[in-house]
Amino acid sequence: MIQKSELILNPDGSVYHLNLHPENVADTIIFVGDQDRVASVTKHFDSIEFSTQKREFKTTTGNLGNQRITVISTGIGPDNIDIVLNELDALVNIDLKTRTPKKVLKQLDIVRIGTSGSLQTEIPVDSFLMSSYGLDINGMLHSYVCDGIRNNELEKAFVFQTDWSPEKAYPIIVENSKKLDERLSSDIIFKGMTATAGGFYGPQGRVLRLPISDPELNHKIDAFNYKGIQITNLEMETSAIYGLSKLLGHNACSMNAIIANRANGTFSENPKKNVEELILYTLDKLSNK
């Protein structure tokens, strides 16, 4: 039995942070960072059956055609993803009354729709990018036993090419779900490796008043190339989603609206339009099996 201090439930029996019961969650789930973006997705649904919010975690479940979909705002960062994915898995794979894992486990399809900045000149603002790999440079996944989900060859190449500091967490690289990759792909989608930082400023090489430990790190990341695989963009959730999903037995894929290009210093003139178009693209792919 899982102790009350480890799996915390609210007085009504819902999981602690997400405020959800098992029946509130569909098998297909869309993650968005911004709680206001939940409505940007669900306004396209044919019907809404449930909605709730606790802190930054807003959840709405509804139907688009014959597809039942749950949309959850995760907030920003790998620490929030740790909360969301563990509680989602508990909802579908742990009996909350007996506090024991179920004998038959459910597999969720999880798609992130988020914004990101491109690191390569050939990936322009207002484009869409699918993360073929998530590169953990924030260290969160080291809290778990990750044997069997990592791409050790790519990790070693990244450490060598960037002269990665031993004072930082060793990078972990995880692939996306091939099932969702095939479902969401098309000729208009760029693909590449997405680096996931643990913060927005120093961890992504931005300097305001504080000096950073490796001023050349962004350039090293931009220049990485191993057998044609490049690091295409930088954000704050993808590697955590990929790593925890693989460990828990779920499918995950991250879809990025490119609103900035760090390589040439450009920013989208209408980022909301780009995000809306990615939402429509993703919903169309998810609702057409």
Is 1 within the bounds of a domain?
A: no
Are 251 and 133 a contacting pair, CB within 8 Å? no
The predicted pLDDT at position 289 comes to: 58
Percent of the chain with pLDDT over 70: 100
User: What residues make up the domain containing 238?
Assistant: 22-287
How many separate domains does the chain show? 1
Is 255 within the bounds of a domain?
A: yes
Per-residue pLDDT tens digits for 153-207: 999 999 999 999 999 999 999 999 999 999 999 999 999 999 999 999 999 988 9
**Alpha-carbon separation of residue 44 from 23, 39, 65, 139 (angstroms):** 22, 9, 10, 36
Are 57 and 76 a contacting pair, CB within 8 Å? no
Tell how many helices (H) and how many strands (E) occur in the chain: 7, 14
Q: What's 100's domain CATH number? A: 3.40.50.1580
Is 14 within the bounds of a domain?
A: no
Q: In which band, very low, low, confident or very high, does the pLDDT at 262 lie, cut at 50, 70 and 90?
A: confident
Is 4 within the bounds of a domain?
A: no
Is 177 within the bounds of a domain?
A: yes
| Residue tagged 């989608």 (tokens) | 189
Give Cα 130 to chain centroid, integer Å. Answer: 11
- Write the CB contacts of 229 (distance below 8 Å, at least 6 apart in sequence): 132, 133, 154, 192, 193
Is 2 within the bounds of a domain?
A: no
Q: In which band, very low, low, confident or very high, does the pLDDT at 69 lie, cut at 50, 70 and 90?
A: very high
Is 82 within the bounds of a domain?
A: yes
Are 180 and 253 a contacting pair, CB within 8 Å? yes
Is 115 within the bounds of a domain?
A: yes
The structure's pTM equals: 0.96
Res. 288: pLDDT tops 80: no
Helical ranges in 53-95 per DSSP H: 78-93
- Which comes out higher in pLDDT, residue 262 or 130? 130
